[in-house]
Chain A
C-alpha cells in the first residue's frame, strides 16, 4: 500500500482540529469577544475621536487593528469564517455520522443509569411484556441478537438527533442570505424636498414627494412639558418599471415596495430657500436652489462659502438660543461661514434677516421647505435569512426540548419461572439529565410487569 501523502496528513489534522468541539467553542468565544469590542469601542469615528477618548497607546491600537470598523475588518470576517468552517466540518465528521449510533451490547452495570428488575415469568414472555411496556409509552423497540444474547433496544425521540444538524444548516442558510446581499443587494438614502423628484440610481425608479406631514404632541413629563414628533407621513408618487405614476404613502414602520426595492421613511427636515444679493442686487443663480442641511454656497469672486448647518424650529425668545421645541414657532437657521475651508464662525439667523458675508454679499433665509428623508434597500437575501432564522429556532427547540434516549435491555433467567430484566440508559446529553425520568420509568416498569 502506498504511504499517505503529507498533504493527506495535513488535511486530516485540519479536519480533526476544526471538527473538535472545544476548538469550535474557542472560535465562538473569539467571535463573541470581537463582537463585544465593537460594542465598547464606538465604531466609524475618526482617529481624533479615539485619541481624545482613549490613552494614546490604546487609540493607536484601535486604529492599527481596524477596531474602528471591526465588523468589516479582516479579524472579524476571519473569525466568522473559521466558525462557519468549524461548524461545517463538525457537521460532516461528527454530527451526521453520529446521528444514529449503532446498537451494541453493553455491560449494564458499567453504565451509571442502570437497574435490575426481577420479574416472574420465563425469558420470552418477560421480554415481550417489557417491550410492550416501552412501546406503549412511545419507545421504538428493535431486537438484536448479539453474540448469542438477545438484546432489546428502546429508542425515544431518535428523530431529534437531527437537532444539531438543523441548527448548523440554519446558520449556513443565514450566512448564504447575507452573502447574497453583499453580492447582489444595494442600499442608499435620499432626501426629497416637497415637490421634488428623486431617482433610485440602481433601478431608475422615480419618487416624487407630493406632500409631507408630521404631528407633534405635547407630553407632560417630570421635567415639564415637552413636545415630540409622534407621526410623520410622506405622500409620494412613484414611477417604477411599468412607467405608471402610482400614489403611495410612506410612514415609519410602513415601507413601500418599488419593484422589489423597499423605501423607508427615515427622517424629515427643513430645506431652506435663500436669497443671495450682491451690492443690494439679487443674484438669481445663487437664489434659485433650495438648500438642505450641510449644503454650501460658494461666494463668487471670493474663497468664502456659507453653509446651511441646520434649521431651528424655535428660538427661545428670552435666551435667544435654540430650544428643543420641535414646533415651528420662532424659526431661524444656523449658517456658518468658511474661508478656504477654514470655519470663521456661525450665526443663528431668524428667517428673513440678512447676514452680511462681506464684500457686499448678503444672504437672507426666506422660508423653510419640508423634505422627507428616505432610505431604500434591495436585499435578495432576506428570504434566505428569514428561512434560516426560522430553521434555527426549530433546531433549538428540537435540541433543547427533545431528549433522544436509548434503553439497552436484556432479559436473563433468574431461577425457576423468573427472569431478571437488566436496563441501562444512555442519552445524547449525558446521564444526569435523564436520571429522574429513568427512575420513574423503572418504578413504573416494576409495578407494571409485576
Chain B
C-alpha cells in the first residue's frame, strides 16, 4: 500500500511538473525571460526524474515489468520524450521548444493514467527478457519522433510566417525575392528578442519586417534559421530511426522465440514497418537539396502521424497479437 502510494505521488509530481513546466516554457517561448527558462528546465528534469522513479518503484514493488500495458508504455513514452528533448535542449540550447514537448508529454501521460488497470501478472507470451529490451527501444523511438515532430512544426510555423510576410507587403516581398544573407554562426537562440540574429538569413521577408520594427518578426529572429531547424529535425530522426530499427529487430527476435515466426504480418508489425518505410524515405529525401526543409518537415509530420497510428491506433482499435482491444 505504501509503495502504491509512492507510485501515485510520483505520478502526480511528474504530471504537475510537466504541466507547470510547459506553461513556463511556452511563456518563455514568447517573452525570452531567462528565469522562466531556468524554472521550466528544472521542472522538466524533475518531472522526467519522477517518471523514471515511478516506473522503478512500480517494478520494485510488483516485480512485474511495468511496460507490458498501455499505461506503463505511455509513461515511458512521456518520460523518454522529455529526456530526449532535455538532451537536445542542453546540447543546442533549445529550451524555447520545451513547452510544446512538455505539453505533449503531459497529455500522453494523463491519457496513459486512464489505462491503469492495476497490477496484472504477465501472460505467458509476455514473460520474456525481450520485454525489457524490445518495449523500451520501440517506445524510445516513438519519443524521438515526437521531438522531431515538434521541431518540424516550428519549421513550418516560421516558414509560413515568412511567406505570409512576403505576401503581405511588397517591401518584404522584394526582400524575399532578393534572397540570402550572411552565414549563420551558431545555434544560440537565447538572445534578447530585440537583437536581430542571422537566424533570419533564409527568411528574408521576416528579416525585412524585423528591420522595420515588426515585433512578431523580431521575435521570429530568435528562433534558429530554417536551415538549422531542418538539421534539428534530421538529428531527431537520426535518434528515432535506428531505435525503431533496433526495436523492430528485437521484436522480430522475440516473435521468433514466442510464436515461431519473426514476422507474421500482425497489424502492429506492419504498422511499424510502414512507419519505418516513411522515415527511411525521409532519410533518402534529405539527401536531395531540393527536398530539405519544407518538404522534409511535412514528411516528418506525416511520419509522426504514422507513429501515433502505429502506437495507439493499432493497440486500441485493431485486433492482433499486440492488441488491447476488447
Interface residue ranges, A against B (CB under 8 Å): 21-22, 24-25, 28-29, 31-33, 35-36, 38-40, 42-43, 71, 112-113, 187, 217, 219-222, 228-232, 251-255, 262, 264-266, 375-377, 379, 382, 385-386, 389-390, 392-393, 396-397, 399-401, 428-430, 432-433, 435-436, 439
Contact = CB atoms under 8 A, between A and B. Distances in A.
Contact of A32 (B124, B125, B281, B288): B281
Nearest to A215: B124
Contact of A219 (B121, B260, B306): B121
Given A39-B274, A390-B249, 17 more contacts: A21-B288, A25-B284, A29-B277, A32-B278, A36-B274, A39-B314, A228-B120, A252-B258, A264-B260, A265-B124, A266-B260, A393-B242, A393-B246, A428-B287, A429-B234, A430-B289, A435-B228
A24 B282 CA distance: 11
Contacts of B124: 229-232, 251-253, 265
Interface stretch (B34-42, B45-53, B101-109, B184-192): B184-192
Interface string B149-176: 0000000000000000000000000000
Contacts of A401: 238
A396 B246 CA distance: 10
B270 A35 contact: yes
Interface in B91-109: none
B27 to A, nearest CB: 28
B128 A228 contact: no
A222 B118 contact: yes
Contacts of B288: 21-22
B125 A252 contact: yes
Nearest to B253: A386
Contacts of A375: 259-260
B260 A377 contact: yes
Nearest first, the 6 closest Cβ-Cβ pairs linking A and B are A252-B124, A32-B277, A400-B238, A432-B227, A375-B260, A35-B274
Interface in B77-126: 117-125
B230 A382 contact: no
Contacts of B316: none
B261 interface: yes
B242 A255 contact: no
A392 B274 CA distance: 17
A39 B219 CA distance: 44
7 contacts: A35-B274, A39-B314, A221-B118, A229-B124, A264-B260, A379-B261, A400-B242
B214 interface: no
A433 B231 contact: yes
B260 A435 contact: no
B103 to A, nearest CB: 28
Interface residues of B, number: 61
A253 B270 contact: no
A33 to B, nearest CB: 8
Contact of B287 (A21, A31, A377): A21
Given A266-B259, A393-B245, A429 B238 contact: no
Contacts of A231: 124, 127
B261 A253 contact: no
B183 A435 contact: yes
Contacts of B234: 429, 433
Contacts of A113: 183
Given A219-B120, A252-B124, A436-B187, A43 B258 contact: no
B281 A436 contact: no
Given A28-B284, A400-B238, A253 B127 contact: yes
A407 to B, nearest CB: 16
Nearest to A440: B186
Contacts of A71: 265, 270
A430 B292 CA distance: 9
B257 A432 contact: no
B324 interface: no
B118 A253 contact: no
B67 to A, nearest CB: 16
A252 B127 contact: yes
Given A22-B288, A393-B249, A432-B230, A32 B242 contact: no
A32 B274 contact: yes
Contacts of B125: 252-253
Interface string B115-152: 00111111111011010000000000000000000000
A432 B228 contact: yes
Contacts of B271: 35-36, 39
B312 interface: no
Contact of B267 (A31, A39, A232): A39
B191 to A, nearest CB: 16
Contact of B185 (A28, A39, A229, A439): A439
B298 interface: no
Contact of B245 (A32, A38, A379, A396): A396
A29 B122 contact: no
A316 to B, nearest CB: 19
A239 B302 CA distance: 53
Contacts of B281: 25, 28-29, 32
Given A71-B265, A229-B123, A377-B260, A429 B287 contact: yes
Interface string B225-268: 00110110010001001100110010011101111111001010
Contacts of B262: 379, 382, 385
B304 to A, nearest CB: 14
B259 to A, nearest CB: 7
Contacts of A432: 227-228, 230-231, 292
